[in-house]
Amino acid sequence: MSWRATLRTAFVTLMAMTAPVLAADAQKPNIVYIVSDDQGWKDVGYHGSDIRTPHIDELAQGGARLEQFYAQPFCTPTRAALMTGRYPFRYGLQTVVIASGHTYGLATDEWLLPQALKEAGYETAIIGKWHLGQGDKKYWPRQRGFDYQYGPLIGEIDYFTHEQHNVLDWFRNNQPVREKGYSTTLLGDDAVRLIENHDVAKPLYLYLAFNAPHTPYQAPQDYLDRYKNIEEPSRRAYAAMISAMDDQIGRVVAALDKKNMRDNTLIVFQSDNGGTANPMFAGEGDMSKIKIPVQNGPWRDGKGTLYEGGTRVIALANWPGHIKAGVTIDEKIHVVDMYPTLAGLAGASLAKTKPLDGLDVWGTVSDGKPSPRTEIVYNIEPFRAGVRQGDWKLIWRTPLPQAVELYNIAQDPSEKTNVAAENPDKVAALQKRANELAAAGVPPLWLTTEFAALKKRMGLPPAFPDMETLSGGEETK
């Protein structure tokens, strides 16, 4: 055989070996994961709201509405669950949120979703709110797998000054940025710019996390003018904020279309927790003169609680040709499930993760198959627990005198009738499960931090028991 024939044979063999790999890379979907902040379940057009959200509605009509999609009761825990695929009680982020003065963050020994996707060949970007640690750069997004970062690190900012407590919280790639503009519009601008400049030879993971419609309730005048029919000021501003976010989501979808990326892009949209129903959980500003504008539809209560109103959130998934259009999926899905589901679609390895709580629910999302999830863990904390198995849901408040509530969610989704007294065996079984989960967790970092600060303010001696001792837990596990 001549050297030319030998070279040709070798080339053909090499191409045959690499073609499947190249084809697999080409088929990896772009992932645009959009999160709203404190949005009420009903406060979207397709749930019957008077707030107009045509772009979100179009995604729902062209994809799947996920009507039993569960998040955590607060922002930080939900974002942590999404990033780790693990319940927040396993690493101390189960209680409330990381406050602006706190220095802890999401444990650095957790292998995060952007790290897994980056390792699988993705360009990774976060545009928007982080809220998983701002006091030490080791917790920041660029140190946790994101190639690019833009937006706030903390939980609540002024929409126009981008400040919290008169301190700027607006960054690009770890550097503070002082610029003019409404934060929702700026985040949309940046997302569009990222897509326009993206190299389509590489799959994209964009985590677009709006701070809207979290407090403070602020919107540009042109958006306020859209809702002149709403007299109550906070509801008018809240509606305007959601419409502003919806417009930016529409711009992002249009940018994907223009870049010819849309047909190979999975878009997921969800709220981070239920809408605020109690001013206590609204934010750090003065809410004494503000009427809460949020609507959670048929679900009981809202943000901060273990009831459906605090944890069952707006969610949808859209990917043309891969997810059936216009379907409603009434199957149990938890935010922790998104990690293994997205990793599976991306061909990302799970070898570096700790044991996941999440399950791959792609068959459920794409084809409406029964969910592999039979249990929902609403949260596990030293003072309360929420666990559901099948249709039975337990809410257990442990501080004395303890309170036990049991609901059949299929029969009583609004949680109006506590049937604990009539079902003692079911209560006992769910309490046993809650205790098992609690034994595998660690004390909440929020409580640990606040308790340490209290000890210092009170001048208590170092020998005085710390939070870990009082809760019966350990600092790490």
pLDDT classification of 431: cutoffs 50, 70, 90: very high
**Catalytic annotation, pick one of 47, 55, 102, 131:** 131
User: Is the dihedral angle over the CA atoms 112, 448, 274, 376 positive or is it negative?
Assistant: positive
Residue range 141-150, pLDDT digits in tens: 999 999 999 9
pLDDT in tens, 285-331: 778 788 999 999 999 999 999 999 999 999 999 999 999 999 999 99
What average pLDDT does range 259-275 have in this prediction? 98
pLDDT band of residue 459 (cuts 50, 70, 90) is confident
Q: Give the pLDDT band of residue 475 (cuts 50, 70, 90).
A: very low
CB count within 10 Å of CB 235 equals 20
Domains (ranges, CATH) in the chain? 26-374 (3.40.720.10), 382-439 (3.30.1120.10)
Average pLDDT score over the chain: 92
**Which pair of structure tokens corresponds to residue 79?**
């974002």
Give the dihedral of Cα atoms 326, 328, 334, 338; nearest 10 deg.
-20
d(CA 282, CA 276): 6
In the predicted structure, residue 408 carries a pLDDT above the cut 70: yes
Please, are residues 210 and 241 in contact by the beta-carbon 8 Å criterion? Answer: no
Q: Where are the beta strands (DSSP E) in 324-391?
A: 327-329, 333-334, 375-381, 384-389
Both tokens assigned to 437: 């989960």
Query: Per-residue pLDDT tens for 66-98?
Result: 999 999 999 999 999 999 999 999 999 999 999
| Dist. CA 314–CA 132, nearest whole Å | 22
Strand extents, DSSP E, 290-409: 315-318, 327-329, 333-334, 375-381, 384-389, 392-397, 403-408
**Most confident residue range from 370-374, 456-460, 463-467:** 370-374
> What Cα–Cα distance (Å) separates residue 422 from each residue in 106, 343, 385, 430, 433?
41, 43, 20, 14, 19
pLDDT, average across residues 330-337: 98
Give the C-alpha separation, 102 to 123, whole Å. 30
> pLDDT class for 474, splitting at 50, 70, 90?
very low
The 10s digit of each residue's pLDDT in 435-454 is 999 999 999 999 999 877 77
Mean pLDDT on 21-34: 73
Question: Does 162 qualify as catalytic in the annotation?
Answer: no
Dmax of the chain from CA atoms?
89
pLDDT of residue 132: 98
Please give the pLDDT value at position 463. Answer: 66
**What's the pLDDT tens digit per position in 91-140?**
999 999 999 999 999 999 999 999 999 999 999 999 999 999 999 999 99
Q: Look at the pTM and tell me if it is higher than 0.85.
A: yes
165 part of the active site: no
Query: Would you call 206 helix, strand, or coil by DSSP?
Result: strand
CB atoms within 10 A of CB 317: 28
Residue-wise burial string across 101-130, b where 16 or more C-beta atoms lie within 10 A, e elsewhere: ebebbbbeebbbbbbbbbbbebbbbbbbbb
> Residue 406: pLDDT band by 50, 70, 90 thresholds?
very high
State the Cα–Cα distance between residues 132 and 104, nearest whole angstrom.
Answer: 9
| Look-up of token digits 């407090």 | 215
Whether residue 13 has pLDDT greater than 50: no
pLDDT value of residue 453: 73
Peptide bond into 216 cis (omega under 30): yes
> For position 255, what pLDDT does the model report?
98
Omega cis (within 30) before 370: no
What pLDDT shows up at residue 458? 78
Of 75, 162, 198, 322, the catalytic one is: 75
What are the phi and psi torsion angles at 434 (to 5°)?
-60, -40
